[in-house]
Chains A and B, each alone.
Chain A
Amino acid sequence: MTGFVIRRIGQMAIALFGVSIVVFALIHFVPGDPVRIALGTRFDPEIYEALRERAGLNDPILIQYGNWLLAAIQGDLGVSFRSGQPVTGIVLQRLPATMTLAGAALVIALAVSLPLGILSAIRSGSKLDYLATTASQVGVSVPDFWAGIMYILVFSLTLSWLPPSGYTQLSNDPLGWLSHLVLPAFTVGLISGSILFRFVRSAVLEALNQDYVRTARAKGLSQMRVIRDHVLPNAWIPIVTVVGLQLGFLLGGVVVVELIFAWPGLGRLALLAVEDRDFTVLQGTVLYIAFIFLLINLIVDIIYGWLDPRIRYD
C-alpha cells in the first residue's frame, strides 16, 4: 500500500509537469499579449517595450519556461503580471470560497442523488422512478447560468429570502455565510446531484440484476437486507468513481456560477487570468486544480481497495 501511494505520488509529479507544459504552450500560442491588455487604450510603444522586457516576455520561450520551472520547483509560483501580487497568495485567498462551494454542493448532490437513486432503482418503472428520472433529466439539461439567475430572481428579488450574490467568511458571520452559500450551492449541487443520480440508479439496477441477488432473495432475505448486504456493496465502486470526479470538478471552480454569484473562487480567478493572459496566475491555478484532481483520484483508488477486498495494491 505504501509503495503504491509513493508510486502514485511520483506519477502525480510527472503529470503536473506535463500540465504545466501544456498550459504554458497554450497561453503562448493563443493570440493576445498581457502587456497590451494591461495598457489597453493607453498604449505607448516605449512603455510597451519596457514592460515586456521587465516581465521577461522578450526572452526565448524555452528560457521563459525554464525560469518559471526553476522557481516553481523551489515553491515560488511567481508574481501576477496583472496585480503585481505573489501567485501563491492569490490562489490561497480564493481557495476557501471554492472549497466552501464545492463542499456544500457535494453535500446537496449526495443528499439528493443517493436516496433517490437507490429508491428509483429498487422501484424501477414506478411513478417515483419516472418522476426522479425526469427531474434529473431537467437538472442535467438546464444551463447553470440560467438556473442561477432564476434562483436569484425568485428567492432574492421576489421573495427577499436570500442575498442575490456575494461571499462571507464562516468565521466572520456564520449566518451570512450560510445565506450567501445557499443559492450557488443549490445551483451547482442540483446539477451535480442530477448527474450522480443517474449513476447511482444504474449502478444499483445493475447489481439488482445479478444472480447473487436472486439467490439472496431465494434464501428468503428481506428486501432491506438484500439491498444493504448484497446490492449496495457491489454498486459502490462506480458510484465512488463518479463522486470523485464530481468533487474534483467542483474543486476546480465552477466558472459561470462563480461569475453570476460574484463568488470569489478559483473559476473566476482562472477566467480573469485567461482574459488578461496572466500566465503565472493561470499556471498556478491550473496546477492547483490538477493537483486536487490527481489527489482525489488517488483517494478514490484507495477507497476501492477498502470497499472491495478483491482490489489490493501491492
Chain B
Amino acid sequence: MRTRPMWRTLVLLLTLAMIVAACDSGESVDVEDSDTTTTAPPGSDTTSPGATETTTEQTTPEDDEMVLIAAQGAEPDRLDPHLTSAYASFQVLENVYDTLVQPGPDLQMEPALAESWEISDDNLTWTFTLRDGVTFHNGRDFTAEDVVYSYNRIMDPDVAAANAFRFASIEEVVAVDDRTVEINLSRPTPNLLVNIGAFKGMAIVPQEIVDDGSIDSAPVGTGPFRFVSQSPDQGIVLEANPDYWRADEGLPHLDGIRFVQIPDATVKLTNLQTGEVHWIDGVPPQDLESLEGDSDVVIQRVPGGDYHYFALNQAREPFDNPDVRRAIAMAIDRDVITEAAQFGAATPNQTAIPASNFWATDYAPFTPGDTEGAAALLEEAGVSDLTIEFMVSSEFPETVTQAQVIASQLAEIGVTVEISDVDFGTWLDRQGQGDFDAFMLSWVGNIDPDDFYYAQHHTDGTFNFQGYSNPEVDALLDDARVETDQDARKALYDEAARLIVDDASYTFLYNPENVQAWSPQVEGYEVRGDNAIRFVDTQLAG
C-alpha cells in the first residue's frame, strides 16, 4: 500500500501531461465544427454549385506543387477590406479583391475592373465602363450595382470605413446600366483614380457577404485568388480562381498561396533559408550585407514611396518658432541617420516624396550636419539649454535607432534629447492629445501628393498633430486638390513642399527601400514601389 502513491502520482503526472499534449487533435475538431471557425461558409443563394464544393473540402492546396508559402511578419487583423487598416491584411487581400483601377508597375493608375473612363468637361462627372464577364468567387456576375454598393458602404458614416476620407469629394455614385458607373463630384478631383484605386481598401465587394456577416472571415472578391480558410496552424489559405478575368492569359499561374505569420524577423528569414517558406515580406536591414551572394535567397530592393520623419510640437515653446525647428533640421546629418537605421537600404531626402515619383520636389536647402549654422540660428532665437523629449516606439525599432543618432547630433549644438520609448498604443494616445515635444514615425503607401501633404500639413488636416499652420500652404494645398492640369498641379505642390520644408513642419529624413526576399524557385515576382504584394504573375519552378 505504501508504495503506491509514488507510482500512481508519477503515472498520473505523465498521463496528464500527455493528455494535455494529445488534446490537440480532439480540440481542433471541435473548433472546426463550431460556427466560430473561419473556414469559408457555403456560398449564398446566388452561389454556383461549383464554387460551394471547393469550400467544403477540408484539403488545402498544399498537396499541389504550385502553392506558394508566403511569410508575413504581422498578423492580419480582419479581412474586411473596407474596415481593416492593417498592412498585413492588405498583403492577403491584394490577391483576393479588385478595385476599379489599380496602380501599375510605375504606380500610374491603370484599368482593372473598369476598362476605360471619361471625364466631363466640367471635371465633375467621371463615367467608368466596366469589364465584361467578371464574376465574384461565389459565381455571381459583377455589375455596376456592386460598385455603387461598395462605394456607398465606404461612404456610410455608420460603417465608419477607414478610407471614407478618400471619397470626400464624391457626391453620388450611379449605376447607369450594368456596365456603366457614373461618379458625380462636388469639386474637380484630379486624383480620383488614386482615391478609388490606390490599394484594396477601396475594393469592390459583393453585398451578400456583408449581409450575412462573412466578409471578415471569408472574403469573396473578383481577384486572381479566392479565399479557402484561415486557422492558427495553416494561416490563410488561398486557391487559384479559375474564372479570373485574366484567365485567358493563363493567370494566375500558382495553384494557391498560403500566408503564414512569423513575427520574429530572424526566424522568418531562417524559414526562407531552410526552404519552409518561399517568400518573406522583409529582411532585417542588418542582414542585407551578409545575404549578398547567398544562392538560396533572392533579395530585391526597390525605391519605396514611404518616408521617415519627425515633427516638433508647434503648440509648445520654443518649437512654435520656425527658426528653432529649422535649426534642428539643419543640425542633423541624414546620411548618418540613414546608415545607422537602415544600413544603407534607404535614400536620404529633405522632402517627403522620393525622386522616383513624378510628384517629387527636388529641394534640399539644408547642408548635412550644419551645426554651426544651426547653433547660430538657435542663438538668434534666444534659445539655450533646450531639452527635447523624442517620443518613439520600439514596435518600430528604426525610430529608436534614429532618435539615438539624432540625440548625438543635436548634442553638438547644445540640445539635449531625451528618448521616450513607449508602446505604440501609448504613442498614438499621446500624439492625439498633443502630449509630446517631438514624435518620430514613417508614412507608408502614399502615391498622390495630396496623400503626402494634406492631412499632415494643412491647418485643418486630420493628422496635423504637430499644429502646423501656414495660410500660404493651406491655399496651395486647396488649389492643388482641384487643379486638373497635371503640370500646373505639380507646380503648386512643389511650392507647398518648399514651404513645408523651410518651415520644418515635419523634418523629413529618408525614403526606405522596399525589401523583400524569396527562394530562387519563385519566378515572375517583383517588389513594387507601393509595397503591394501581388502574386498574380508569380510561378514556382521545380
Known: A92-B31, A172-B233, A303-B9. A36 touches B264 (CB 8 A): no
Task: Tell me whether A260 and B9 are in contact (CB under 8 A).
Answer: no
Docked CA distance A93–B432 (Å): 35
A-B contact pairs, 5 of them (CB 8 A): A41-B463, A85-B216, A100-B24, A164-B270, A262-B262
Contact with A along B226-267 (1 / 0, CB 8 A): 000001110000000000000000000000000011111011
Are B262 and A165 interface neighbours, CB within 8 A?
A: yes
Q: Tell me the residues in window 1-49 of chain B with beta carbons closer than 8 Å to chain A beta carbons.
A: 2-3, 5-6, 8-10, 12-14, 16-25, 27-31, 34-38
Nearest chain A CB to B256's CB is how many angstroms away?
16
- Whether a CB of chain B sits under 8 angstroms from the CB of A51 is yes
Query: Are A93 and B231 interface neighbours, CB within 8 A?
Result: yes
In chain A, residues 227-241, which have Cβ atoms closer than 8 Å to a Cβ of chain B? 228-229, 232-233, 236, 240
Binds A, one of B178-186, B418-426, B530-538: B418-426
Is the beta-carbon distance between A166 and B260 smaller than 8 angstroms? yes
Q: Which of under 10, 10 to 19, 20 to 34, or 35 or more describes the interface residues of B?
A: 35 or more
A198 CB-CB contact with B under 8 Å: no
Contact residues on A (Cβ < 8 Å of other chain), bracket: 35 or more
Contact B6 A84 (CB under 8 A): no
CA distance A268 to B25 in the complex (A): 20
* Chain B residue contacts of A306, Cβ below 8 A: 5, 8
B24 in complex: contacting residue of A83, A89, A169, A272, CB < 8 Å: A169
For window 51-109 of B, CB contacts with A under 8 Å fall at 75, 77-78, 80, 83, 85-86
Among residues of B, the one whose C-beta sits closest to the C-beta of A92 is: B31
Which residues of B lie under 8 Å from residue A95 when comparing CB positions?
A: 27, 31
CA of A261 to CA of B260 in the docked complex: distance in angstroms?
12
Contact with B along A30-46 (1 / 0, CB 8 A): 11110011111111111
What are the interface flags for A220-255 relative to B under an 8 Å C-beta threshold, 1 for contact and 0 otherwise? Answer: 000000001100110010001001000100010000
Judging by beta carbons under 8 Å apart, are A272 and B75 in contact? Answer: yes
From B142-150, B160-168, B494-502, B515-523, give the one contacting chain A.
Answer: B160-168
- With A82-B78, A85-B217, A103-B21 as contacts: A236 and B6 at CB distance below 8 Å: yes
CB contact list, A140-179 vs B, under 8 A: 149, 152-153, 156-157, 160, 163-172, 177
* A153 and B270 within 8 A (CB): yes
Contact in complex: B20, A99 (CB < 8 Å) = yes
Partner of A233, one of B6, B31, B75: B6
B273 interface residue per 8 A CB criterion: yes
From A42, A172, A240, give the contact of B9 (CB < 8 A): A240
A125 to B232, CA, bound (A): 48
* A92 close to B30 (CB less than 8 A): yes
Determine the chain A residues whose CB is within 8 A of the CB of B85 once the complex forms: 38-42
**B429 and A33 form a contact (CB under 8 A):** yes
> Whole-angstrom distance between the alpha carbons of A39 and B431 in the complex?
13
Q: Which residues of B are found within 8 Å of A260, using beta-carbon distances?
A: 264, 267
Q: Which residues of B contact A45 (CB under 8 A)?
A: 462
Nearest A residue to B156, CB-CB = A50
- The distance in angstroms between the C-alpha atoms of A288 and B225, with both chains bound, is 37
Whether, in the assembled complex, B321 has its beta carbon less than 8 Å from a beta carbon of chain A, the answer is: no
Contact assessment for B264 and A107 in the assembled complex, using a CB-CB cutoff below 8 Å: no
- Neighbouring B residues of A264 by C-beta, 8 Å: 232-233, 261
A203 on interface, CB distance cutoff 8 Å = no
Residues 84-97 of chain A: 1 if any B CB is under 8 Å from the residue's CB, otherwise 0? 11101110111111
- Cα A83 to Cα B215 in complex, Å, equals 11
B19 CB to nearest chain A CB (Å): 7
Which B residues are in CB contact (< 8 Å) with A107?
14, 17-18, 21
User: Within 8 Å of chain B (Cβ to Cβ): is A277?
Assistant: yes
A74 shortest CB reach to chain B, Å: 17
User: A54-B160, A85-B36, A168-B233 known; A96 and B18 CB under 8 Å?
Assistant: no
Shortest 8 CB-CB contacts between residues of A and residues of B:
A89-B36, A32-B425, A103-B21, A264-B232, A103-B20, A171-B25, A50-B160, A106-B17
B2 touching A229, Cβ below 8 Å: yes
Residues in A with CB closer than 8 Å to B425 are 30-33, 36-37, 275-277
Q: How far is the CA of A163 from the CA of B262 in the complex (A)?
A: 13
Neighbouring B residues of A149 by C-beta, 8 Å: 264, 266-267
| Contact in complex: A39, B25 (CB < 8 Å) | no
Is there a chain A Cβ closer than 8 Å to B157's Cβ? yes
Question: Are B36 and A262 in touch, CB under 8 angstroms?
Answer: no
B276 at the interface (CB under 8 A from A): yes
Write the chain A residue with the least CB distance to B9. A236
What B residues does A307 contact at CB under 8 A? 5, 9
Cβ-neighbour of A99 out of B12, B24, B77, B216 (below 8 A): B24
Q: What is the minimal beta-carbon distance from A115 to any residue of chain B, in angstroms?
A: 11
